[in-house]
């Protein structure tokens, strides 16, 4: 049984919006799939129905039966899901002190499952924690802006983020007949930036459009496509292999700041994976296994 006190249980009820038997915005199907994918648990097992069949009741039952490590893994996964939804305009923060209280709870439970020696340990970013927290807050605050302001604010946020990590970012510039959202320097390579803030996931047409811009530049020019809402699986598949760009989504940005990862190193891992596989998109959490 996980060591979760009454106050922490109330915190989880509020943070995960468990009133009325719900857990965040999951359906029964997506809730079950989430637990299989992220926790390795079948939440539809009969033992989790001891108090009732709603998602909230099954989750409460799960916490009673799980050990500390498994409970922490589930809580952390749900928290990251909620933060990603906040990034996309859902769940405005209305729980006082939610983040530090969640961090304290996860620390008390021993964090996430112990990392295996063979797995790569992330390097701690050499950046002031207050600056990193400010940037994370700015990212999570973007959905509250008016629709016409978000795109420009997203570009400004990315420049500030890249500058903070010493990547020599340049603001948006316009060439004849086309708009480039910015550029930055990574090692000895110059990358052009495409930034999209929209509700829908980015599809193959936008990827091809940006790649077309790259093909009109010097042969050594590369590209980074940042889409807050992510990319469609069909779009990534249709875009094909061996292109001159890599992709980053909102969850990647959140993970980089939440876990204190060096931005340049994280991008280099994406680039190396793209070189090895030909695929332009690999998630940060897959490149930094926990």
Q: What is the pLDDT of residue 47?
A: 96
Average pLDDT, the chain: 86
Q: What is the pLDDT of residue 258?
A: 85
Q: Is the pLDDT of residue 127 over 80?
A: no
Highest mean pLDDT among 71-80, 108-117, 211-220: 71-80
What would the mean pLDDT of 85-98 be, rounded to a whole number?
78
Q: Bridge-partner residues for 255, per DSSP?
A: none
Tell whether the torsion through CA atoms of 22, 26, 29 and 31 is positive or negative. Answer: negative
Q: What is the pLDDT of residue 188?
A: 74
Q: What is the pLDDT of residue 124?
A: 38
Q: State the Cα–Cα distance between residues 279 and 271, nearest whole angstrom.
A: 10
Question: 228-264 pLDDT, tens per residue?
Answer: 999 999 999 999 887 889 999 999 998 898 888 899 9
Give me the architecture of the 129-287 domain, per CATH: 3-Layer(aba) Sandwich (3.40)
Q: How far is CA 165 from the centre of its chain?
A: 18
Q: What is the pLDDT of residue 114?
A: 33
Domains of the chain, residue spans: 6-108, 129-287
Q: What is the pLDDT of residue 183?
A: 87
Q: Report pTM.
A: 0.62
Exposure string of 125-146, with b = 16+ CB inside 10 Å and e = fewer, is: bebeeeebeebbebbbebbeee
Q: Is the pLDDT of residue 276 over 60?
A: yes
Higher pLDDT, 119 or 137: 137
What confidence tier does 115 reach under pLDDT thresholds 50, 70, 90? very low
What would the mean pLDDT of 171-187 be, rounded to a whole number?
71
Q: What is the pLDDT of residue 146?
A: 87
What would the mean pLDDT of 157-176 be, rounded to a whole number?
80
Q: What is the pLDDT of residue 190?
A: 84
What would the mean pLDDT of 105-113 be, rounded to a whole number?
74
Q: What is the pLDDT of residue 232?
A: 94
């Amino acid at each position: 049984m996980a060591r979760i006190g009454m106050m922490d249980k109330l915190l989880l009820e509020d943070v995960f919006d468990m009133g009325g038997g719900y857990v965040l915005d999951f359906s029964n199907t997506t809730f079950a799939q989430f637990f299989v994918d992220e926790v390795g648990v079948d939440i539809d097992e009969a033992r989790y129905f001891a108090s009732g069949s709603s998602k909230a009741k099954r989750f409460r039952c799960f916490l009673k039966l799980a050990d500390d490590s498994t409970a922490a893994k589930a809580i952390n996964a749900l928290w990251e899901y909620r933060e990603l939804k906040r990034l996309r305009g859902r769940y405005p923060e209305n729980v006082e002190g939610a983040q530090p209280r969640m961090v304290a709870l996860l620390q008390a439970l021993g964090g996430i499952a112990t990392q295996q020696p063979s797995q790569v340990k992330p390097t701690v970013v050499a950046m002031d924690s207050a600056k990193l927290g400010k940037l994370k807050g700015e990212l999570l605050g973007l959905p509250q802006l008016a629709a016409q302001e978000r795109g420009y604010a997203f570009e400004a946020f990315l420049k500030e983020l890249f500058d903070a990590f010493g990547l020599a970012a340049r603001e948006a510039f316009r060439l004849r007949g086309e708009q480039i959202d910015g550029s930055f320097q990574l090692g000895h390579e110059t990358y052009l930036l495409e930034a999209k803030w929209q509700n829908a996931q980015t599809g193959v047409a936008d990827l091809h459009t940006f790649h077309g811009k790259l093909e009109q530049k010097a042969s050594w020019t590369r590209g980074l496509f940042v889409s807050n809402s992510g990319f469609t699986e069909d779009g990534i598949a249709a875009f094909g292999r061996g292109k001159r760009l890599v992709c980053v989504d909102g969850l990647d940005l959140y993970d980089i700041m939440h876990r204190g990862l060096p931005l340049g190193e994280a991008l280099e891992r994406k680039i190396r994976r793209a070189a090895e596989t030909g695929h332009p998109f690999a998630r940060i959490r897959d490149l930094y296994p926990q």
